[in-house]
Structure 1
Amino acid sequence: MDTATFLHLLHEDLGLTQQSARKHLIHFTSKSEYFACKSELLRMTSELPRLSLVLPLDIIHAFSCTLCPDTKLRSFSSTTRIEADTKFIINKVKSRKTVPKRATILSSSRTRTIPWGVDQIGAPEIWSKSVGQNIHIGVIDTGIDYKHPDLHNSISHGINLLNRRLMPHDDNGHGTHIAGTIAATGRNSGIIGVAPRAIIHPVKAFDHNGSAYVSDIIAGIDWCVQNDLDIINMSFGMKTYNPALEQAVMNAYYRGKVIVASSGNDGRKKTIDYPARFPQVVSVGATTRTGRIAPFSNRGTQIDIYAPGERVYSAWIGGKYHELSGTSMATAHVSGVIALMLSMRTMSPQQIKNALRRCAFPLSKRPNARWQPGQLNARRAIRAAGQE
């Protein structure tokens, strides 16, 4: 492959501002040629400045950039394959502001709220043993509210994949809500998350409308792997299979990263969204306050675990609080419990999945020879972790 000629053609294509131009992925069939081309790309950026618009994705050996549909690069080399990028939107169920339903007094001088889901899964019973300390969680979402008082002590460095010169500030609310359920450390009248000493790394891949390109999700996974995070929370899903996303998930899994994703909010009984459908992912369905599968939740044997997802009260942008429903919220509870587990002992992604599936409370009392996914419980998960 003539790398220099390839990059000159790429630079030329990046300068064409056609209305039909859209984001694409350039895949390299050879790992060595990808890294050779990446090295040359970085060297030639000063000479060809538009090459700075190209985002290398080491985890799948590809470049992400905007190209014209009739780009000359398609016929340039047999060692590259070009595919159009796709965009999707976070699937929300409903949104409703409200006041906390209950507060638990944790000391004589302070009253802090334990949201019903955190309480129902039994997280407070485990805090004397584990609070998720030293566990790093990448939340690929809409960003985070850095000024929220309940999240101030939970946030570490992150990245804004939409504009790398900016902090991953949340302009939507979804990411802040997820982070609050996982690791809020409320003071005074604030809320407490499942793993209040876990460390959140916000990865902003979704814009203010809650939409993202698959390439940005892959870049988020890549960033989490490069920064050696323990857990990757993906509270979103898409209906169609994407091979590039599967490759990114598989490579992260084989690097020892626990990936947790929501099953989707379409009420389907036999199929779930991607990436939750990939076997390397801990797939999560949602339950109600009464411990039943939520009507909106996708369900079936493809799900590994169910967790609270109905009218979940958590942090919101502007230092506020909000109530949301969805398998996204359930996923956050599971990521929190996994942080509690990993804080006590080192476990592989498969060991985590096995322990969660084995320790779940049954959702159905009817005898059934087939295995059925059950409901998350922190105490049983910690016990199962010790048996793996």
Structure 2
Amino acid sequence: MTKFTRAALAALLAATPFAATAETDLSGETVEWVIPFSETGGSAKWANFFAPLLSEALPGQPTVVVKFMPGAGSTKGANWFHEQENGDGTLIFGSSGSTQFPYLLNDPRVRYEYNDWEPVMATGTGGVAYLEPEAGAKFDGSANALQDIDFIYGSQGATRLDLVPLLAWEMLGMNVEPVFGIKGRGDGRLMFERGEANIDYQTTSGYLGGSADLVEQGQAVAMMTWGALDEDGNIVRDPTFPDLPTFKEVCEATEGCETSGEAWDAWKAFFVAGFPVQKLAFLPKGTDQEVIDTYVAAFETVRNRDDFEQISSQTVGEYPVFVGEGAQRALEQATSVPQGAKDYVKTWLRDSYGVELEG
């Protein structure tokens, strides 16, 4: 399986030339940043965090407005963006793992091609799973006492980023029934808050922006993170949540859960594809190089702000930011999964949820 190591991350960060000899003047313009999810989720918080910083860094300081186009687990918005030819710098698009996974799995609703777009920025993220308090009281670092509980989970779809938690919970022997059709992970959190679901997970920005308060108020109990990768490609604790165990730790402590074999290899492959490079910003296909260079330079300015580490850790977590060539290399990692892992997941999707995908 492809390793996404700290050394690889460092190479991505070092790979980008930032000096652009020409700039696109966006004075008086409005830049639309389209997010293919609802306004309540982690992608919304990610874009809303970067939008004012990008506005300040772009020449002419245009207004950057985040717009939402949810539907079909993000494929609706991605398909729309693929048809756009507005390459003057006034349109950008933000994708996430829930956009990557349908592409990787040959979902028939996908009519977009990542290689046609122009990546200018990418970031990693993490994820935190949490339980309602009664179930949380039974969690002891293993899932042994959770296996007789019937859980309900609000899901965007089994072929989306949700396959990472759904497969993890199944490997732990938990009975988690997904309710499909929500438009963003934030809607899953709202289901949890209303008592319509008793288990949930959020990416880091969504967790920091809402779910962490539920935990602090005693309305939820944090269970685990998916983890992060060390320089050898091993699962280690997420730097944003160092006090929480990883799924690997919980699996090792749970009877019947294995951290080797086909299921583990498939889970880890999709985790690597979906989280270390989880959110990407694109310009449309055919965008002039001058516009691309302008955005690369702007995102590099954002990344190099003296206060960036402090403000980002509070909103989107402590994860690397890739720009330019680094973003392109990150995209290649995010859209590459071994065929064996794809085959395992497609069989699992068919057997568990009746989802039939091409081989």
The TM-score normalised by the length of structure 2 is 0.27
Structure whose CA Rg is larger: 1
Ranked by relative contact order (alpha carbons within 8 Å, sequence separation 6 or more), the top structure is 2
